[in-house]
Structure 1
Amino acid sequence: MIVVATEDFKVYHGVVTELRDRGVSFTTIEPGDEWPERTRVAVVAAGDAVEVPDGVEVVRAESDRPRQAVESAISTLRGGDGRTVIGIDPGERPGIAVLHGEMVVAAFQVPAAEAGEIVRREVEDAVDPVVRIGDGARLVGARIIDDIQSVPVELVDETGTTPYLGSGARGMGDVLAAVNIARLDGEEIESRPIEPTAGELTRIKDRSREASDTNRAIGEGLARRVAAGELTVEEALAEHGGTGSDDGEETDDGERPTDAESDDA
């Protein structure tokens, strides 16, 4: 059983609210009261001096971080090792899963530009955290890795990590893949090459053509900026429309105009 024992009202309110929201069984006592016989985890305020029975694990809660304390308490109660592991399925809107031991304690799906901030927040004060990121969507993954900083990162073979999605599960694939990625050992890395391949540039150009009202693709210069994360496809199309053909624009058949064609124009 989890027992909350603190006179700090902010800690008490935050922790109890989190426990109730998650449907976790718990009880509360005043510091100095007799502890219930089934107590396994005690949640107390960070500054409290509270004596607990032998064999009871203590989780200290900050008033502005009740969720982290509750996650630690639940993980301890279930016998997890408590290590924070974050799995990321990279893409334009990466799936992100946060595990304490074997238990999923949080999940997100956000624009790629926000992924680094979420990771930094979730590993703050964590002991021995690790980030495991899938090896797909290489350019997006490289940007996320560069943005994380100071957290060990493992590159994971994400083959087969996206599960079959049955009825009603649409949109959950990236998050579920992130959970599976978090549970796989990977190769520790510090960065990934971000230079786009010719095939990646071609795919970006194709995406821009599909998004264009005039069926015209952006040129290589803008495609490289999209690949580097400096622009979205939509922003590149807007810039392309305002600059004419100085970025090497392509014609409707995908070919660059020749000098003769340009002169005839």
Structure 2
Amino acid sequence: MIVVATADFEFYHDVVGELRDRGVAFTTVEPGAELPDGTDVVVVAEADEADRPDDGDVDVVVAPADEVRRAVEEAVAILRGDGGRTIIGVDPGTRPGIAVLAGDTVVAAFHVPLADAVATVQSEVADSPDALVRVGDGARLQGATIVNDLEDVTVELVDETGTTPYLGTGARGMGDVLAAVNIARRRGEAVDSRDIEPTQGELQRIKDHSRRASEDNRTIDERLARRVAAGDLTVDEALAEHRARSSDENGDEAEEQDESDGGGVSSGTGVDTDASANGAKTEFDEDADG
């Protein structure tokens, strides 16, 4: 953890602003105060150097008021080691490509189902003090699901135009991962969430997918398709809900039919009222004929 120890308000304000922009965990203490447990790096203003901590297990970064950014970069570099900032690129889709970079070096890559994408990203940023996740702006619905479900990490939305390279022979399936690498290296716009209204075409594709995924040629309705688009349900969950609802409706119809079939019996006589009516009509016809 980074600790800011200074009596210089301007220095304090600028350092804290830089750390917050990077999403780095930190705390503050008065110069000369006891350092909290878990302290790894202390940032001290040049004017407070006389009160710098003498704990040999803690790194100290001293900087003048006009070199705040350099001080923060040095402190963060110490905190994360020499590998560089962790940046994760995500090429969204039904099976997103995920690339993990330390500085400019690719250290891990994944190609996972959409349902596993957020957990994969969260596990990779768990030990990184200032990790950054960059998500491509294509595959709008899947991308929005990823952006909205990520927590406690800085997220940027990146223009992914031209990020998927040409794939030669034997490179099938690598396109999403290579695109994720390029997305990780491209600056984007910081976002907290992404609201998407699915188009009719997108909803139809979800419904078509549900029909292909079902064993009984079942197609979910638009209400369920919208919930799938929003990430509230998977296609399999939507199919199960549609199937259960259809079963309930069929059961209600059967009960109504049973009640209707029993309505023609006269209470206490066992005589079919429809048959009596027909008999009366026959007698009337015979009287009329006579």
Normalising by structure 1, report the TM-score: 0.58
Per mean C-alpha deviation after superposition, the further-off stretch among 227-236 and 154-163 is 227-236
Q: Secondary structure at the match of 2:177?
A: helix
Alignment-mate amino acid for residue 150 of structure 2: I
User: Structure 2: how far apart are the matches of 1:127 and 1:241?
Assistant: 46
Task: Look up the match of 1:123.
Answer: 125
Aligned-pair CA distance for 1:165:
1.7
Task: Look up the match of 1:146.
Answer: 148
Change in CA separation of 1:125 and 1:209 when aligned onto 2, cut-off 3 Å: closer
Task: Look up the match of 2:208.
Answer: 206
Q: Secondary structure at the match of 2:193?
A: coil
Change in CA separation of 1:190 and 1:179 when aligned onto 2, cut-off 3 Å: same
Aligned-pair CA distance for 1:213:
4.6
Residue ranges of structure 1 left out of the alignment (5+ in a row)? 1-47, 50-58, 62-68, 76-81, 248-265
Aligned-pair CA distance for 1:246:
9.0
Aligned-pair CA distance for 1:103:
0.5
Task: Look up the match of 1:40.
Answer: none
Q: Secondary structure at the match of 1:167?
A: coil
Q: Which has the higher helix share?
A: 2
Task: Look up the match of 2:183.
Answer: 181
Alignment of 1:225-236 (within 5 A): 225-236=227-238
Task: Look up the match of 2:93.
Answer: 91
Task: Look up the match of 1:110.
Answer: 112
Structure 1 contact 113–144 (Cα < 8 Å) conserved: no
Change in CA separation of 1:105 and 1:192 when aligned onto 2, cut-off 3 Å: same
Change in CA separation of 1:208 and 1:190 when aligned onto 2, cut-off 3 Å: same
Per mean C-alpha deviation after superposition, the further-off stretch among 229-238 and 170-179 is 229-238
Alignment-mate amino acid for residue 220 of structure 1: E
Match of 1:190 among 186, 192, 216: 192
Aligned-pair CA distance for 1:235:
3.1
Aligned-pair CA distance for 1:237:
2.5
User: Structure 1: how far apart are the matches of 2:218 and 2:124?
Assistant: 42
Q: Percent identity?
A: 66
Q: Secondary structure at the match of 1:244?
A: helix
Q: Secondary structure at the match of 2:108?
A: strand
Alignment-mate amino acid for residue 120 of structure 2: I
Aligned-pair CA distance for 1:60:
9.1
Establish whether residue 164 from structure 1 lines up as the match of residue 166 from structure 2.
yes
- 1:174-201 CA-to-partner distances (Å, cap 9, x unmatched) read 1111001001111111110043232221
Alignment of 1:7-22 (within 5 A): none
User: Structure 1: how far apart are the matches of 2:210 and 2:187?
Assistant: 36
Alignment-mate amino acid for residue 83 of structure 1: R
Per mean C-alpha deviation after superposition, the further-off stretch among 172-181 and 157-166 is 157-166
Structure 1 contact 95–175 (Cα < 8 Å) conserved: yes
Normalising by structure 2, report the TM-score: 0.54
Residue ranges of structure 2 left out of the alignment (5+ in a row)? 1-55, 58-76, 250-290
Match of 1:241 among 237, 240, 243: 243
User: Structure 2: how far apart are the matches of 1:190 and 1:147?
Assistant: 10
Alignment-mate amino acid for residue 143 of structure 1: T
User: Structure 1: how far apart are the matches of 2:149 and 2:173?
Assistant: 25
Task: Look up the match of 1:263.
Answer: none
